[in-house]
């Protein structure tokens, strides 16, 4: 009975979203989803690197066309299992992120920010600068001083996002993004970045991560051994941004990320009155993973 209740709820949510898409566009979007599903499987599971990359390029083109279809914001693309899909807490936009692996076990990341058409209409009635969606170009390999720089959509620090947290200061909204990067065969990364809008364009990175160092960080990037797991999450109830501390296995390995492992202790940050995530002086005593 519980299974059928959940299934009914899922169909109900889809039907509510589908009601915002007329029947002709709904059929077009279903057709795009079928194509994207096949390309998505190919770009992730095919053994040939050239085929994966070609499928990835075609995936981007097909998705861009799909997102131009009226009502596409409300279409869930549920069959795209290899794509992370998140909607901001205020419903302003949604983000789709995914990756393609190379033979040397590196990952190239892709993404798009799609604006809610109703909210977009409101924004453009005041300042007609916003677009319906923004493709994201991963430049993480070439970004210098990436912990202290703001970038645009064309110089994105790529990741697969699993959480969006909205905070505000003086009517300025910030969307903290928690993400994962498979990096390479030796290391994995957890990332806390931030998205905000400036003159109608998405910007990534802002001086809002106060780790009690000499300089405030624009984003946080944790690098550790590929076989380890590290917690980076948001506690909705307490409004804590929580991260697990990572340390080298030996002092002489302090310069090598592949030798870093979680030590079982947790620090946390709160959104302060200055509009920053501020590290708290005490470690978190009680934390459930």
pTM of this prediction exceeds 0.75? yes
43, 74, 105 — which closes off a domain? 74
Note whether residue 79 is domain-resident: no
Note whether residue 158 is domain-resident: yes
Note whether residue 80 is domain-resident: no
Contact of 86 with 94, CB cutoff 8 Å: yes
Three-state DSSP class for 63?
Answer: helix
53 plus 92 within the same structural domain:
no
59 plus 97 within the same structural domain:
no
58 plus 91 within the same structural domain:
no
246 plus 144 within the same structural domain:
yes
pLDDT in tens, the chain (289 residues): 444 443 343 444 444 455 589 999 999 999 999 999 999 999 988 999 999 989 988 999 999 999 999 999 999 999 999 999 999 999 999 999 999 988 887 888 999 999 999 999 999 998 889 999 999 999 998 999 999 999 999 999 999 999 999 999 998 999 999 999 998 889 999 999 999 999 999 999 999 999 999 999 999 999 999 999 999 999 999 999 999 999 999 999 999 999 999 999 999 999 999 999 999 999 987 655 5
18 plus 161 within the same structural domain:
no
64 plus 97 within the same structural domain:
no
- Which domain range does residue 25 map to? 1-74
Torsion of Cα atoms, 211 then 220 then 209 then 130, to 10°: 180
DSSP assigned state of 104: T
Q: Which residues pair with 110 in a beta bridge?
A: 98, 137
Give me the residue label for tokens 């109608």: 200
53, 74, 95 — which closes off a domain? 74
């Amino acid at each position: 009975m519980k299974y059928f209740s959940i299934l009914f709820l899922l169909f109900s949510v889809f039907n509510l979203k589908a009601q915002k898409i007329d029947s002709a566009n709904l059929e077009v979007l279903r057709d795009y989803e079928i194509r994207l599903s096949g390309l998505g499987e190919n770009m992730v599971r095919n053994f040939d690197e050239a085929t994966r990359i070609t499928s990835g390029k075609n995936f981007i083109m097909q998705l861009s066309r799909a997102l131009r279809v009226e009502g596409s914001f409300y279409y869930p693309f549920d069959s795209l299992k290899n794509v992370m899909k998140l909607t901001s807490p205020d419903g302003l936009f949604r983000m789709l992120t995914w990756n393609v692996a190379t033979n040397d076990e590196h990952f190239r990341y892709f993404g798009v920010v799609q604006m809610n058409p109703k909210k977009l209409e409101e924004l453009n009635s005041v300042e007609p600068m916003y677009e319906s969606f923004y493709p994201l170009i991963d430049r993480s390999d070439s970004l210098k001083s990436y912990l202290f720089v703001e970038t645009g959509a064309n110089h994105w620090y790529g990741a697969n996002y699993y959480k969006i947290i909205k905070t505000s200061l003086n009517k300025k909204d910030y969307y903290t993004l928690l993400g994962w990067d498979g990096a390479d065969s030796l290391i994995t990364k957890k990332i806390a970045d931030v998205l905000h809008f400036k003159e109608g364009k998405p910007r990534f990175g802002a001086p809002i991560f106060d780790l009690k160092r000499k300089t405030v960080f624009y984003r946080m990037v944790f690098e550790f051994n590929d076989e380890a797991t590290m917690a980076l999450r948001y506690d909705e109830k307490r409004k804590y941004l929580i991260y697990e501390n990572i340390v080298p296995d030996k002092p002489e390995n302090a310069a090598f990320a592949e030798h870093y492992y979680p030590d079982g202790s947790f620090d946390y940050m709160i959104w302060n009155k200055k509009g920053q995530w501020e590290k708290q002086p005490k470690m978190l005593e009680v934390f459930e993973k």
